[in-house]
């Protein structure tokens, strides 16, 4: 039993040999069949047609169509792989861009937080400095008041000493003069005036 591969050339050969007869009967109509009929009636065209058919049969027998189709399939696969790779690269680039944008946003937020913290620290330092200056002023004021009070106390003490010295001197004078009791009362009044 013959296979289809062996029958195909036989069918083509029968069709080609029947073509001239078909061309005589048809009278060269239009379209594909008319062109085919014309090629069968013209000997040069017919030989060229036969050569083409033979070439195609030889090419089919040697597997040229499989090679061409296989090449086209492999090229199609290569193009599909390149497209897939380009798609993957695009997705990775989009992810990298999104990651970079997130990092930029995080850096911006961190910088804003640092600025806010620096402002808060500066306000706290200023408040502490003002409080420290106020405390120093209060301490200096208290120290000055204490010095003034001490100076007043020393001045009062010096006045009392001077009064006491004056009283002692007056008493010595009175006692040394021993004149009268009125002088003693005058001296006592002098002491009283000096002490007040």
Structure confidence by residue, pLDDT tens digits, 119-160: 999 999 999 989 999 899 999 998 989 899 898 888 888 888
CA gap 107, 168 in Å, rounded: 89
Mean of per-residue pLDDT scores for the chain: 78
> Which pLDDT belongs to residue 29?
54
Who's near 193: CB < 8 A, 6+ residues apart?
none
Q: Which pair of structure tokens corresponds to residue 185?
A: 């009362």
CA gap 36, 47 in Å, rounded: 13
Is 14 or 59 the better-scoring residue by pLDDT? 59
Of the ranges 29-33, 162-166, 192-196, which one carries the lowest mean pLDDT score?
A: 29-33
Report whether pLDDT(96) > 60.
yes
Contacts of 190-194 with C-beta under 8 Å, sequence gap 24+, read 190/166, 191/163, 191/166, 191/167, 194/159, 194/162, 194/163, 194/166, 194/167
> Which pLDDT belongs to residue 102?
92
Report whether pLDDT(98) > 60.
yes
What helix, strand, coil percent values describe the chain, rounded to 5? 95, 0, 5
CA gap 182, 8 in Å, rounded: 175
> Which pLDDT belongs to residue 36?
65
CA gap 91, 158 in Å, rounded: 98
39, burial (CB in 10 Å: exposed 0-12, middle 13-18, buried 19+): buried
The closest of 37, 60, 61 to 49, measured between CA atoms, is: 37
Q: What is the pTM of this model?
A: 0.37
Report whether pLDDT(95) > 90.
yes
CA 12 vs CA 46, 49, 56, 110: distances in Å: 14, 12, 11, 82
Asked if 167 contacts 194 with a C-beta cutoff of 8 angstroms, the reply is: yes
State the chain's maximal CA–CA distance in angstroms. Answer: 192
pLDDT tens digits, one per residue of 20-70: 555 444 455 566 666 666 666 777 777 777 788 788 788 778 877 788 788
Start-to-end CA distance of the chain, whole Å, equals 160
> Which pLDDT belongs to residue 173?
73
> Which pLDDT belongs to residue 157?
86
> Which pLDDT belongs to residue 57?
80
């Amino acid at each position: 039993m013959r296979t289809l591969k062996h029958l195909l050339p036989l069918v083509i050969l029968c069709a080609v040999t029947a073509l001239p007869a078909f061309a005589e009967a048809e009278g060269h109509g239009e379209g594909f069949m008319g062109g085919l009929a014309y090629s069968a009636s013209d000997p040069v065209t017919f030989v060229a047609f036969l050569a083409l058919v033979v070439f195609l049969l030889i090419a089919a027998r040697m597997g040229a169509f499989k090679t061409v189709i296989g090449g086209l399939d492999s090229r199609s696969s290569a193009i599909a792989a390149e497209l897939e790779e380009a798609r993957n690269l695009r997705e990775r680039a989009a992810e990298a861009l999104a990651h970079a944008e997130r990092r930029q946003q995080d850096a911006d937020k961190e910088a804003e937080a640092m600025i806010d913290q620096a402002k808060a620290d500066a306000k706290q330092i200023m408040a502490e400095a003002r409080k420290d200056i106020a405390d120093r002023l209060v301490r200096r004021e208290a120290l000055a008041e204490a010095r003034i009070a001490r100076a007043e106390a020393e001045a009062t003490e010096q006045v009392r000493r001077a009064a006491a010295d004056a009283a002692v001197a007056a008493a010595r004078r009175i006692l040394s003069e021993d004149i009268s009791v009125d002088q003693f009362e005058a001296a006592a009044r002098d002491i009283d005036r000096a002490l007040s």
